[in-house]
Structure 1
Amino acid sequence: MSSYQELVQQRDELNQKIEAARKSAIADAVAKARALVAEFDLTVQDVFPSGRKGRAKSTAGIKVAPKYRDPATGQTWTGRGKAPKWIDGKDRTQFLIA
């Protein structure tokens, strides 16, 4: 059985070998990527698109016109979120803003 000090030394040597192998693999990957970019005349946008295409825009924070009005108080509600007490549980068609 190896002593603690021997195991620590082996770990350090192994970590150095791992780091060297990682750097070599990264260098190979970068060289391949550069060759492909040059071969196909790619741009940064080709390789790393912004990701905004095809995604729906967030509606958070966008002001919306009111859809309902309380005739007694003049309070309005957009129809989003929790319904106010003056319209909750009632037929909403009578409160629609024309």
Structure 2
Amino acid sequence: MTTYQEYQAKIAELQNLAESARRDELNSAKEKIAAIMREHGLTLADLAGTAKPAKVSKPRAPVPMKYRDTATGQSWTGRGRAPKWLEGKNKEDFLIK
């Protein structure tokens, strides 16, 4: 019957073999990549330039005021929720001309 310690030793041995195989695969892949780069005359800078530039958005211009209460001087652009001072009143009476 195999003991726990023997299994641990086998696990450690297999992990070492796996790490060795991984290093070998990575080295092989690096060699293939380097050969392709040499063949086509590519540099690391050529590979790094493949990202798309970030989308630049322009700042929005302020919206002009459309309505003004002449009694209080408050104004509203006409966008969004109507202000309290305009409740129950005709908006047309407060249009800025």
Shorter-chain TM-score tier: 0.5 to 0.7
Q: TM-score, normalised by structure 1?
A: 0.62
Higher helix share: 2
For 1:33, give the aligned amino acid: I
TM-score by length of 2: 0.63
1:27-71 per-position Cα deviation (integer Å, ceiling 9, x unaligned): 100011111111100132432334124x6x154xx5311225242
Bigger Rg, structure 1 or 2: 2
Taking structure 1 as reference, are residues 50 and 84 closer, same or farther at Cα in structure 2, changes over 3 Å only?
farther
% of aligned pairs identical? 26
May I ask how many residue pairs the two structures share in their alignment? 81
In 1: Cα distance, 2:68 partner to 2:44 partner: 57
Could you tell me which runs of 5 or more consecutive residues in structure 1 were left unpaired when the two chains were aligned: 87-93
Pick closer, same or farther for the CA change 1:75–1:13 going to 2, 3 Å. same
Superposed CA RMSD: 3.0
Distance in 1, matches of 2:77 and 2:59, equals: 13
Counterpart CA distance in 2 for 1:58 and 1:8 is 56
After superposition, the Cα gap between the structure-2 partners of 1:85 and 1:9, relative to the gap in structure 1 and judged at 3 Å, is farther
Are residue 67 (structure 1) and residue 68 (structure 2) matched?
A: no
CA contact (8 A) 1:68 1:76 kept: yes
